[in-house]
């Protein structure tokens, strides 16, 4: 032990912190259950709540257990107003005790985009799992879609935000 | 600024405004469009369409070859399906499918997907079995995504160009508008600056004018009050505050008439202003200064000088009044008048004093001359004779001086030529020359006369006045021209059928007079050459007397002179030439220069009234007369029998023996004075009375109240040997006075009082007091209960006294009583006596006392 490299010390420190965090989450009854159905979303990176390895994996039931947010808005990709229901990005990151600044969100179709954590605000974007009360099919931008309330805030009607509105979402890495 | 410029600027402004508005609307729209992205990148979606298709095709090929799972095929199918769906629904890519061919191609894609959805969802064995078929279909449409992608790039390029062009156009129009705006702003700034300069210039000019106006208003010594048409005060300067005694702030808004016009004049002033406005009387607005009465804030009235101007202000027509308090001016004027009157009366007093003094001096002088004459008769040695000669010369000079002074007094006390008679011209001139011949010879001066002009022999004028002027002028000329020549010239000019002008001139070649002295020589007591004065011992009054006499004749005495060359004195007199009876000159032996001298006569003065006697005595004594007094008729007869008097002055109503009886007795008995002229001195002035006097043997009448002038005239007339003509009366005038209602007559006769003062001098107050005391006693004695004849007698006596003491009303009132007695109306007589006389006496007494005290003050 007399000649430990600095990297090793860090790794050990990180492990100790991770263990402590996991214990804390368990102690508060926020243990994320193991997914029993098909996994729809996998969150990795700087999060404190995990269930599969160092990732947090959600099936539809797990997502629906989180506080839900619903709003109506039009989008540039659909016709007429749509009602979206899902978990707000803020609620998800709060739940996961995420500590990063940037989210790297990826889709089934390999589309990937950076979303700053600062986007996760009240009345901000949600990870929608219902459109007009129905689950979304993979052939129609499902099953998860990061939707911003475009009509409620004009600032969301920008190409940047359109670019961040990733559909067929299945992975998020908190950096 | 001209109209067209205004219109142009207006149009430019409108055009610019319209451009700016339309541009900003356009820009706002563009900005709003840019603010929100209506679509995501269509380009990206279309390119993704190609990639997703290729991934599907790859998965199908591998699955057909058994190298990959069916789930991969299903995933890629779903992803491609989703992509096509997006393109189908998305607004943003609709424009890509513009042409029919493209729509057809896109339809083929959707057909493919729709046809194979059920196959993809089929169980694995079914899908696997038909994988070849799927592969064939994929191959069939394999060029469509590429085709769409390429088309979209081309379209995007075109669209991008269009957008760029549009933006360039917008930028250009912004630039143009900005330039136009810049230009317009520049022009506007230029115009505004020049406007501002002009405005500044005008403003400062107005400011300067206002300052000038305000300061001149403030500095004005006159009060300035500005009022509206109805008299409301709207401005009030500093001087007005002082004149009216109230502050500007207090008085603004008040009515001028109510505030500054005395109550008694307010309505009439208002009416005056109304009359000016409706043209009833000529307006005094803008028409110079005039006088009004104003009053100050404290209600004190003051005379003011005002001038009014008018103007049109914000309040309609306004009036600007310039006012000045002239209380002090008027006071000064009054003071000047008083001072002038005082000076005049002092001057008169002085000349009276000198005159009285001279009278008083003449008697002893005459005595001295007589004494010197007597001394000359005695035996004298040469030295004594020389001394006597000196005394005689001195006495003569002194008498000359006294006479000069008396002449002045006499000339000044009469107003017009008193003695216009027919005068023969040539004897007049030769008389003057004759009189002065001896003097001229003594100085070896040649004396000439030069007669010229119209051949008129006789004119009507005051002979004595002209004679004396000529004697003075020629005598003077001789004095100043020893060994020279003096010429007395006369040019007669006819100025009308009955009139002529006499131009007299006296020319000498003597030493002359300096120009600066010419005016002065006519003043009194002026002698130009003091050394000569000593030599000649003149009073300096000669030319003053000549000037006065010429003035009185209606001419002017002129003098022209050059030193060492000579002098010319000249004057002109307008005279009448008709009434051509030759002059009856009452030549007396001493006629000439000394013609005015009244000789000394012995006179018996008869009057029972002490005051009358005293007065008359004094008048006579002042004229060198020798006077004896008798207190009644009896005494007069006695005295007249013992001495031969030159003249007797006889009162009519006297106790014991009245004047008429006394006259008869003097004439009848072997009296020494039986030939002496006797003159009645009476207030009985009726013509029948005078006939009565005449019948009794009297020669004339001297009317009471006695005037010194009347006495003098009597004496002169008497001296002229005109015994009968000496009846000096002012009968007609007195008669009228008597017939007048007594109440209308003055209480006292001012002229007579002046005469009394002249006669009595500083004894006047004492004499007045004596009179009042005596008369008061008489009033007490006068009882209505007395017998009528006693009343009549007493009243007559008192009337005489009243007349003597200058009290016409009292005199008339007593006369009324006397008349009532005479006409046997005892009730009337007693009634007047009882009811009226005391009041008239009280008033007269008061008036006399007042006059005497005024006199005392004036002295």
- With contacts defined as CB-CB under 8 Å, which chain B residues touch A137? 78
Q: B3-33: b or e for each residue (b if 16 or more CB lie within 10 Å)?
A: eeeeeeeeeeeeebeebeeebeeeeeeeeee
What dihedral angle (degrees, nearest 10) is formed by the CA atoms of B773, B776, B780, B783?
A: 140
Residues A141, B83: Cα–Cα separation, whole Å = 8
Exposure of A114 in the CB half-sphere (CA atoms within 13 A):
5
- With contacts defined as CB-CB under 8 Å, which chain B residues touch A166? none
pLDDT in tens, B601-615: 889 999 887 777 888
| Tokens at A161, concatenated | 């935000």
pLDDT in tens, B162-175: 888 888 888 888 88
If you measure CA to CA, which chain A residue comes closest to B32?
A154
Residues B538, B398: Cα–Cα separation, whole Å = 10
Q: Are residues B389 and B434 in the same domain?
A: no
The answer as to whether B435 is a domain residue is yes
Q: Are residues B351 and B320 in the same domain?
A: no
Q: Is A109 on the interface with B (CB under 8 A)?
A: yes
Residue B229 structural domain: 220-325
Contacts of B824 (CB under 8 A, 6+ apart): B788
Tell whether ipTM is more than 0.95.
no
Nearest CB to B40 within list A138, A159, A168: A159
Q: Are residues B253 and B113 in the same domain?
A: no
Q: Are B48 and B84 in contact (CB under 8 A)?
A: no
SS3 state at A134: strand
The answer as to whether B591 is a domain residue is no
Neighbours of B280 (CB within 10 A): 11
Domain end point (choices B325, B352, B383): B325
Structure-model confidence comparison of residues B201 and B286, the more confident one? B201
Residues B549, B555: Cα–Cα separation, whole Å = 9
Q: Are residues B392 and B249 in the same domain?
A: no
Chain B interface residues (partner A, CB cutoff 8 A): 35-41, 48, 52, 75, 78-79, 81-83, 85-86, 89-92, 117
For residue B249, the domain's CATH number is 3.30.450.20
Which of left, alpha, beta for B231 (phi over 0: left; psi -120 to 50: alpha)?
Answer: left
The answer as to whether B315 is a domain residue is yes
The confidence band for A173, taking pLDDT boundaries of 50, 70 and 90, is very high
Residues B645, A8: Cα–Cα separation, whole Å = 188
Contact B79 A157 (CB under 8 A): no
Q: Are residues B51 and B122 in the same domain?
A: yes
Average pLDDT over residues A46-72: 89
Residues B666, B636: Cα–Cα separation, whole Å = 9
Q: Are B49 and B110 in contact (CB under 8 A)?
A: no
**Burial group, residue A5, by CB count within 10 angstroms (0-12, 13-18, 19+):** exposed
Q: Are residues B288 and B400 in the same domain?
A: no
| Tokens at A127, concatenated | 């990870």
Q: Are residues B255 and B341 in the same domain?
A: no
Contacts of B114 (CB under 8 A, 6+ apart): none
Chain A nearest-CA distance from B111, in A, is 15
Domain end point (choices B534, B551, B576): B576
- With contacts defined as CB-CB under 8 Å, which chain A residues touch B117? 139
pLDDT in tens, B144-166: 888 887 877 777 778 778 888 88
Q: What would the CATH number be for the domain defined by A33-174?
A: 3.90.420.10
Q: Are residues B402 and B458 in the same domain?
A: no
pLDDT in tens, B94-140: 666 667 777 788 888 888 888 888 888 888 888 888 888 888 888 88
List B722's β-bridge partners, or say none. Answer: none
Q: Is A54 on the interface with B (CB under 8 A)?
A: no
Contact A108 B40 (CB under 8 A): no
Q: Are residues B535 and B422 in the same domain?
A: yes
pLDDT in tens, B320-336: 889 988 888 888 988 99
Nearest CB to A108 within list B40, B75, B117: B75
Contacts of B313 (CB under 8 A, 6+ apart): B234
Contact A162 B40 (CB under 8 A): yes
Dihedral sign, Cα of residue B821, residue B825, residue B830, residue B836: negative
Contact A154 B40 (CB under 8 A): no
Domain count, chain B: 5
Question: What's the pLDDT at B190?
Answer: 92
The answer as to whether B814 is a domain residue is yes
- Consecutive H or E run containing B264: helix B263-278
Among the listed residues B797, B841, B789, B760, the one whose alpha carbon sits nearest the alpha carbon of residue B683? B797
pLDDT at B572 over 50: yes
pLDDT in tens, B657-705: 888 888 888 887 777 888 888 988 876 655 567 777 888 888 888 877 6
Q: Are residues B233 and B119 in the same domain?
A: no
What dihedral angle (degrees, nearest 10) is formed by the CA atoms of B778, B779, B784, B787?
A: 10
Domain end point (choices B344, B379, B407): B407
pLDDT in tens, A83-115: 999 999 998 888 888 888 998 999 988 888 899
- Tally A–B CB contacts below 8 A: 59
Q: Are residues B143 and B225 in the same domain?
A: no
Nearest CB to B89 within list A77, A108, A163: A77
Q: Is A140 on the interface with B (CB under 8 A)?
A: yes
The answer as to whether B636 is a domain residue is no
Length of chain B: 859
Question: What's the pLDDT at B180?
Answer: 84
Q: Are residues B262 and B276 in the same domain?
A: yes
Contact A108 B86 (CB under 8 A): no
């Amino acid at each position: 032990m007399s000649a430990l490299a600095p990297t090793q010390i860090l790794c050990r420190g990180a492990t100790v912190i991770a263990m402590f965090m996991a214990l804390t989450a368990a102690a508060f009854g926020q243990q994320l259950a193991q997914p029993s159905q098909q996994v729809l979303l996998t969150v990795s990176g700087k999060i404190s709540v995990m269930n599969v390895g160092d990732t947090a994996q959600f099936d539809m039931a797990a997502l629906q257990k989180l506080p839900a947010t619903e709003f109506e808005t039009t989008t540039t990709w659909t016709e007429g107003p749509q009602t979206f229901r899902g978990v707000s990005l803020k609620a998800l990151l709060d739940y996961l005790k995420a500590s990063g600044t940037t989210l790297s969100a990826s889709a089934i179709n390999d589309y990937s985009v950076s979303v700053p954590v600062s986007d996760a605000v009240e009345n901000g974007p949600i990870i929608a799992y219902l459109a007009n009360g129905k689950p979304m099919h993979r052939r129609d931008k499902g099953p998860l879609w990061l939707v911003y309330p475009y009509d409620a805030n004009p600032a969301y009607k920008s190409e940047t935000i359109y670019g961040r509105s990733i559909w067929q979402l299945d992975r998020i890495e908190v950096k | 600024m001209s109209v067209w410029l205004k219109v142009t600027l207006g149009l430019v402004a409108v055009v610019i405004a319209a451009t700016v508005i339309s541009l900003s609307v356009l820009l706002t729209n563009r900005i709003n469009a840019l603010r929100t992205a209506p679509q995501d990148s269509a380009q990206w979606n279309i390119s993704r369409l190609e990639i997703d298709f290729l991934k599907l095709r790859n998965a199908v090929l591998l699955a057909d070859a058994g190298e990959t799972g069916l789930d991969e095929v299903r995933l890629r199918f779903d992803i491609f399906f989703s992509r096509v769906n997006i393109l189908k629904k998305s607004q943003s890519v609709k424009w890509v499918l513009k042409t029919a061919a493209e729509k057809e191609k896109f339809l083929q894609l959707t057909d493919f997907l729709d046809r194979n959805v059920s196959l993809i969802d089929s169980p694995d064995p079914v899908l696997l079995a038909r994988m070849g078929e799927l592969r064939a279909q994929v191959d069939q449409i394999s060029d469509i995504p590429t085709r769409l992608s390429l088309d979209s790039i081309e379209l995007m390029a075109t669209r991008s160009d269009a957008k760029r062009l549009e933006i360039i156009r917008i930028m250009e129009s912004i630039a143009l508008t900005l330039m136009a705006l810049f230009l317009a702003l520049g022009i506007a700034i230029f115009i505004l600056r020049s406007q501002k300069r002009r405005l500044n210039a005008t403003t400062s000019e107005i400011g300067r004018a206002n300052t000038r106006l305000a300061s001149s208003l403030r500095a004005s010594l006159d009060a300035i009050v500005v009022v509206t048409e109805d008299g409301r005060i709207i401005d009030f300067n500093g001087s007005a505050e002082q004149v009216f005694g109230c502050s500007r702030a207090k008085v603004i808004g008040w009515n001028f008439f109510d505030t500054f016009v005395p109550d008694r004049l307010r309505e009439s002033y208002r009416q005056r202003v109304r009359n000016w406005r409706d043209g009833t009387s000529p307006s005094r607005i803008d028409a110079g200064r005039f006088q009004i009465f104003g009053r100050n804030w404290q209600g004190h009235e003051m005379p003011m000088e005002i001038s009014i101007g008018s103007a049109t202000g914000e309040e309609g027509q306004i009036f600007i009044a310039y006012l000045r308090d002239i209380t002090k001016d008027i006071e000064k004027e009054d003071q000047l008048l008083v001072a002038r009157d005082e000076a005049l009366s002092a001057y008169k007093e002085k000349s009276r004093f000198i005159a009285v003094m001279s009278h008083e001096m003449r008697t002893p002088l005459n005595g001295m001359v007589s004494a010197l004459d007597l001394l000359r008769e005695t035996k004298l040695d040469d030295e004594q004779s020389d001394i006597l000669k000196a005394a005689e010369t001195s006495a003569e000079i002194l008498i000359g001086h006294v006479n000069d002074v008396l002449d002045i007094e006499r000339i000044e006390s009469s107003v017009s030529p008193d003695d216009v008679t027919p005068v023969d011209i040539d004897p007049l001139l030769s008389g003057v020359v004759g009189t002065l011949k001896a003097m001229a010879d003594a100085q070896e001066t040649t004396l000439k006369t030069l007669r010229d002009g119209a051949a008129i022999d006789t004119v009507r004028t005051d002979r004595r006045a002209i004679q004396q002027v000529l004697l003075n002028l020629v005598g003077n000329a001789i004095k100043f021209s020893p060994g020279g020549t003096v010429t007395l010239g006369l040019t007669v000019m006819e100025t009308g059928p009955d009139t002529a002008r006499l131009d007299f001139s006296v020319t000498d070649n003597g030493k002359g007079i300096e120009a600066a002295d010419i005016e002065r020589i006519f003043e009194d007591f002026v002698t130009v050459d003091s050394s000569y004065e000593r030599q000649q011992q003149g009073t300096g009054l000669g030319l003053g007397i000549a000037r006065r006499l010429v003035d009185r004749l209606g001419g002017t005495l002129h003098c022209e002179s050059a030193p060492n060359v000579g002098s010319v004195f000249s004057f002109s007199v307008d005279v009448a030439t008709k009434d051509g009876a030759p002059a009856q000159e009452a030549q007396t032996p001493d006629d000439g220069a000394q013609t005015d001298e009244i000789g000394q006569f012995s006179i018996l003065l008869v009057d029972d009234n002490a005051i009358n006697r005293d007065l008359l005595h004094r008048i006579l004594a002042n004229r060198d007369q020798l006077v004896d007094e008798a207190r009644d008729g009896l005494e007069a007869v006695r005295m007249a029998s013992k001495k031969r008097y030159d003249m007797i002055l006889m009162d009519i109503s006297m106790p014991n023996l009245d004047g008429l009886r006394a006259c008869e007795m003097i004439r009848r008995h072997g009296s020494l004075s039986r030939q002496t002229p006797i003159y009645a001195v009476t207030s009985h002035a009726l013509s029948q009375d005078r006939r009565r006097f005449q019948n009794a043997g009297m020669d004339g009448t001297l009317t009471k109240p006695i005037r010194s002038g009347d006495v003098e005239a009597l004496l002169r007339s008497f001296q002229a040997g005109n015994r009968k003509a000496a009846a000096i009366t002012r009968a007609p005038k007195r008669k009228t006075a008597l017939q007048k209602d007594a109440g209308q007559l003055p209480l006292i006769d001012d002229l007579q009082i002046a005469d009394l003062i002249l006669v009595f001098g500083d004894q006047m107050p004492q004499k007045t007091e004596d009179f009042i005391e005596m008369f008061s006693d008489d009033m007490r004695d006068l009882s209505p209960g007395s017998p009528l004849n006693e009343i009549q007698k007493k009243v007559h006596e008192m009337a005489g006294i009243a007349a003597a003491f200058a009290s016409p009303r009292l005199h008339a009132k007593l006369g009324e009583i006397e008349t009532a007695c005479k006409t046997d109306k005892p009730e009337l007589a007693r009634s007047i006596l009882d009811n009226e006389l005391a009041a008239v006496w009280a008033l007269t007494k008061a008036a006399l006392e007042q006059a005497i005290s005024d006199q005392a003050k004036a002295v």
